[in-house]
């Protein structure tokens, strides 16, 4: 399991919204762990670390990563003195943007629920008033505008990742336990169990098929409310600092949301 007490500090803007689909995906992934690792309360035997519900979030803009606590406090003081913090965290109240088509993505290190910016799909019943300008203003525009406002204060941005992404990390692979078998060579060096990896990928793709059927736009164009995320609905952006550990850290201020 990653070291929760790593001394470097981060600073970022994030958005939260709890989806029923998140709990469904997380249930499937923990439920289908190899039987020898099924006890999710014993972290020593887990190959997969599942993100706690309170840590689930989407990072909209990371401003600094792996810096000292003094550095982060200096950045925060600079931003507060600029007077732009309320505008940043409330930005989604006046600039509505949608994310759609949730899908479970994965690589060798983690799994995430990923979205794409809406591009003309139908809006769910009840949400039309929030998207009366269509999808001309996208999630990419939101990130661009936040970046411009931050750099206009003179802040030198130092994020880890530059490529835009809209995802919620739901799990991380922490060890190879459950995915290794004894090799056939004379030294019997453990090797990756291709069958178990294939079984995990197959399970993920089955979940994705259910996500497409239930939460993507239907054949008649209809969109379920649980299949779209209007960023800022429920609460505005959160300005966070500290040791993030995949979603932790200290919430400095939360912006204004809408129903």
Q: How many CB atoms lie within 10 A of CB 188?
A: 10
pLDDT digits (tens, 9 = 90+) for 163-211: 778 999 999 988 888 888 877 666 778 888 888 889 989 999 999 999 9
pLDDT at 20: 44
pLDDT at 219: 82
Q: What domains are defined for the chain? A: 18-255 (3.90.1140.10)
What does each of the 259 residues of the chain score in pLDDT, given as a tens digit?
A: 333 334 456 666 677 654 444 444 443 333 333 333 333 333 444 588 888 888 888 889 888 888 888 888 888 899 999 999 999 999 999 998 999 999 999 998 899 999 999 988 888 766 666 665 678 899 999 999 999 999 999 988 877 777 778 999 999 988 888 888 877 666 778 888 888 889 989 999 999 999 999 999 988 878 888 888 889 888 899 998 887 666 777 888 999 998 8
Residue keyed to tokens 């912006």: 255
Residue keyed to tokens 């249930």: 27
pLDDT at 77: 92
What is the pTM assigned to this prediction?
Answer: 0.79
Q: Say whether 15 sits in a helix, a strand or coil.
A: strand
Quick one: 88 exposed, middle or buried, by C-beta within 10 A (0-12, 13-18, 19+)? buried
pLDDT at 18: 41
Please report how the helices 20-31 and 194-215 are oriented relative to each other, as an axis angle in degrees rounded to 10. Answer: 160
pLDDT at 23: 41
Strand partners, 12: 62, 240
């Amino acid at each position: 399991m990653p070291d929760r007490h790593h001394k470097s500090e981060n600073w970022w803007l994030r958005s939260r919204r709890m989806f029923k689909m998140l709990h469904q995906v997380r249930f499937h992934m923990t439920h289908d762990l190899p039987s020898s690792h099924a006890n999710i309360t014993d972290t020593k035997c887990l190959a997969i670390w599942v993100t706690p519900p309170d840590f689930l979030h989407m990072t909209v803009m990371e401003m600094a990563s792996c810096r000292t606590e003094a550095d982060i406090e200096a950045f925060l003081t600079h931003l507060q003195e600029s007077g732009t913090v309320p505008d940043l965290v409330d930005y989604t109240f006046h600039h509505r943007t949608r994310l759609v088509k949730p899908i479970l993505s994965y690589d060798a290190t983690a799994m995430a629920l990923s979205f794409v910016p809406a591009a003309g799909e139908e809006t769910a019943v009840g949400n039309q008033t929030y998207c009366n300008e269509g999808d001309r203003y996208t999630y990419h525009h939101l990130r661009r505008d936040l970046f411009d406002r931050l750099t206009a204060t003179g802040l030198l941005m130092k994020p880890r990742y530059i490529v835009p992404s809209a995802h919620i990390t739901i799990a991380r692979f922490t060890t190879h336990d459950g995915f290794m078998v004894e090799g056939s060579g004379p030294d019997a060096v453990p090797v990756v169990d291709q069958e178990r990896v294939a079984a995990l990928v197959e399970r993920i793709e089955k979940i994705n098929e259910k996500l497409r059927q239930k939460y993507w736009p239907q054949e008649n164009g209809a969109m379920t409310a649980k299949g779209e995320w209007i960023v800022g609905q429920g609460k505005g952006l959160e300005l966070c600092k500290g040791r993030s550990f995949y979603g932790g850290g200290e919430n400095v201020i939360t912006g204004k949301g809408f129903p």
